[in-house]
Amino acid sequence: MPPVLILVPVIIFIFWVLSCIKIIPEYERAVIFTLGRLASAPKGPGLVLIFAPMQRVVRVSLQQEAMEVPPQDIITRDNVTLKVNAVIFMRVVDPNNAVNQVANYRYQTSQFAQTTLRSVLGEVDLDELLAHRDKINLRLQSILDHRTDPWGVKVTSVEVKQVDLPENMTRAMAKQAEAEREKRSKIIHAEGEFAAAQRLVEAAHLLASEPASIQLRYLQTLTEIGVEKNTTVIFPVPVDMLAGVKALIDRAVQK
């Protein structure tokens, strides 16, 4: 037999053996189909032998993936129209189900996420969406994880990424925030006036207990004014003193 006829089958056999050797990295698993039947457990990582063409291998990544949900038109419970997008973090936990139970788990998860995002956000008010986004994220994650669990896909987190408000709603919210700040400013100013009035009342009671103290206060005030070298000094006269002078004048007139 010519050597060429022996060499050709040997080369074919070598290429067949090489094609049967699969190296599966740590982050992947090999789902094996033998004559169309699914193997009980995925293979890998490491060296995996596949007997082609009787066996077929499908590689499935176990790495966590980030999937962006396209912007969705949302009408909240208080009839505000928004555009909202989100991001989903998921990973495959059962490679056999991810291949056998669904045609394309990424596409179907994305479709479920879009419908779930519209339905969940349609049940909340705008204020709740803006103030309690963490609770909404947890609710979205719970619903999606429950739906994708039969596929062997674990949704680890869902985050509402961006909320686009209409321009008129943005202006209204800006006015509301400005009014709220002005309200707080007036309340703080009123509280300061109230505290100052309380202190003045306490000071008046204290000065009234010792009549001579008011004269000492006048002298201290004059000293402070004199330090500034003013040419005009306004000296306050107590009303009680004027009342005493008026009483003396009345007595003199009556006599």
Helices (H), the chain: 3-20, 95-100, 105-121, 126-131, 133-148, 167-209, 211-227, 239-254
169 contacts: CB under 8 Å, gap ≥ 6: 80, 126
Least confident span in 99-103, 128-132, 158-162 = 128-132
pLDDT the model gives residue 79 = 85
Give pLDDT tens digits for 233-248.
666 666 565 666 666 6
Give the confidence band of 15 by pLDDT, cuts at 50, 70, 90. confident
| 128 three-state secondary structure | helix
pLDDT the model gives residue 32 = 92
Residue 33, strand partner residues = 38, 56
Q: What end-to-end distance do the CA atoms of the chain give, in Å? A: 164
pTM for the full predicted model: 0.66
Tell me what the pLDDT averaged over the chain comes to: 83
Give pLDDT tens digits for 127-141.
888 888 899 999 999
Q: Cα 195 from chain centroid?
A: 39
Residue 56, strand partner residues = 33
pLDDT the model gives residue 138 = 93
